[in-house]
Amino acid sequence: MGDWTIRGLIPNIRDWKGKRRGNVDFYVTQLLTGLGSFGQYLYKIGKRATPQCDYCQEIDKAEHTIFVCPRWARNRSEIPANRLTPDILINWLVFSDVNWNWFRRFAGEVLRSKEEEARRRGM
């Protein structure tokens, strides 16, 4: 899978969301920008010793968290779409409130768990 390229779209998403669906929340922003509870980011800013995922040893970034990491398979399985891929994520998100709300829920559940589990490990 290629690099995460959602970041460039963020100003547009903010616009669009501001007009139509309210604010982009804290966890959704983390997932869409990759700036947050992700090994790669935390490593880059000196808060982690490695960029690796705590659950599967791959490089941990937003894309990994949303689409790949086995730790979040259960959360991902509730997705109201057959197949979600990085190229269609944004279109999928803005397509309907159901999708958007699913993503918000996914972001909140997953990132809160990551924060709690990291805290428990003393990171």
Q: Is 34 left (phi over 0), alpha (psi -120 to 50) or beta?
A: left
Nearest CA-CA partner of 107 in 70, 82, 88, 79 = 79
CA distance linking residue 119 with residue 96, whole number of Å: 35
Q: Check binding of 66 to Zn ion (CB under 5 A).
A: no
Give min distance, CB of 60 to Zn ion, in A.
6
- b/e sequence 63-88, b meaning 16+ C-beta within 10 Å: bbbbebbebbeebbeeeeeeebebee
Span near Zn ion by CB under 5 A; candidates 8-16, 38-46, 54-62, 110-118: 54-62
18 neighbors 10 (Cβ within 8 angstroms): no
Among 13, 28, 53, 110, binds Zn ion (CB under 5 A): 53
**Does residue 93 bind Zn ion (CB under 5 A)?**
no
Tell whether residue 56 is a contact of Zn ion (CB under 5 A).
Answer: yes
Question: Residue 24 or 34: which CB sits closer to Zn ion?
Answer: 34
Q: Which of 55, 90, 115, 117 binds Zn ion (CB under 5 A)?
A: 55
Residues 68-87 that bind Zn ion (CB under 5 A): 69
Name the site residues for Zn ion (rule: CB under 5 A). Answer: 53, 55-56, 69
